[in-house]
Amino acid sequence: MELHVAFLPEEAGDCRRRAVAVIDVIRATTSLLIMAERGCDEVLVAPSLEAARAYAAAHPGVLLAGEQAGLAPAGFDFGNSPAALVTAPLAGRRVVFATTNGTRALHVARGASVALVACLRNRTAAARALTAAGQAFGLDLTIVCAGREARFGLDDAYTAGAMVEAICAGADAPTVELTDAAMAARDLFGAHPDAASLFRRTRAGRHVVDIGLDEDLGVCAQLDRSAAVPRVGERVRLIDG
């Protein structure tokens, strides 16, 4: 199997014969994972705030979560704050979710044979699920980084490297051929043992601190705290605008 890291969604190429893991570690995929952990019945990923509002208006009882400039938009029930979602009453609820970068990346990957939601919090579980999907269906693997406003994001590349490391580690690791991008991501992860410190240096991390949500960075930097791996088409569904 080939293992590739796309540092921006536009670099992912044709995903139809690939198993894909999507990362927006600060903060969308971390939030999505926590919503799954909190027992959400379904998360509906919208391509824009307008699409999210329209869906919620047509489906009474659906909750709205997301961000605009990092904060909860007007009329939304929740923002895109993993630290806040950890205690949110979400069991059995349906949530429409829209963010600037992460939800766009998930829509770019919608054509993939298998699309998973990944972050540091479920790094090893997501790596195993991605590898298992590739082996089961004869697919190559791609880790897609959301980036930040169409630019390279250090935090997502670092997290992709953590996944590459998990896929390649251990005596029973599958035989994978790493692209140069996958090797670069793995080297980046290996060079920085303190994720929280690195995240605070990134543009995304500095923005989260500037808007007073620095507690989110601690949650986003947690490694291997969850065995849950949300999969697009199951408890995570993409909706159109």
Tokens representing 68?
A: 């605009």
Q: What percent of the chain has pLDDT over 70?
A: 99
Q: Please report, to the nearest 10 degrees, the dihedral formed by the alpha carbons of residues 227, 122, 164, 16 taken in order.
A: 80
> How does pLDDT run across 87-117, given as a tens digit for each residue?
999 999 999 999 988 888 998 888 899 999 9
Count of domains forming the chain: 1
CATH number at residue 232: 3.90.1560.10
DSSP one-letter string for 43-111: EEE-SSHHHHHHHHHHSTT-EEEE-BTTBPPTT-SB-S-HHHHTT---TT-EEEEE-SSHHHHHHHGGG
Domain housing 199:
2-238
> What would the pLDDT profile of 15-39 be if each residue is shown by its tens digit?
999 999 999 999 999 999 999 999 9
| CA 46 – CA 241 distance, rounded (Å) | 7
Instruction: Please write the tens of the pLDDT for every residue from 193-212.
Output: 999 999 999 999 999 999 99
Axis-axis angle for helices 180-191, 154-168 (nearest 10): 100
Contact (CB, 8 A) for 119 and 145: no
Mean pLDDT for 177-192 is 98
Angle between helix axes 123-137 and 154-168 (nearest 10 degrees) is 60
| Strands ordered across the beta sheet of 114-118 | 114-118, 18-23, 140-145, 2-6, 177-178
Q: C-alpha distances in angstroms, 10 versus 1, 55, 147, 154, 222?
A: 21, 26, 10, 16, 28
Beta bridge partners of residue 64, listed in sequence order: 96
Query: Could you read off the pLDDT of 121-143 as tens digits, one per residue?
Result: 999 999 999 999 999 999 999 99
- Continuous H helices in 192-234: 195-201, 203-210, 215-220
User: 171 pLDDT exceeds 80?
Assistant: no
Mean pLDDT of the chain: 95
* Matching residue, tokens 């919608």: 110
- Inter-residue contact 117 to 236 (CB < 8 Å): yes
Do strands 140-145 and 18-23 pair parallel, antiparallel, or not at all (unpaired)? Answer: parallel
The number of angstroms, rounded, from the C-alpha of 121 to the middle of its chain's C-alpha atoms is: 10
The distance in angstroms from the start CA to the end CA of the chain is 35
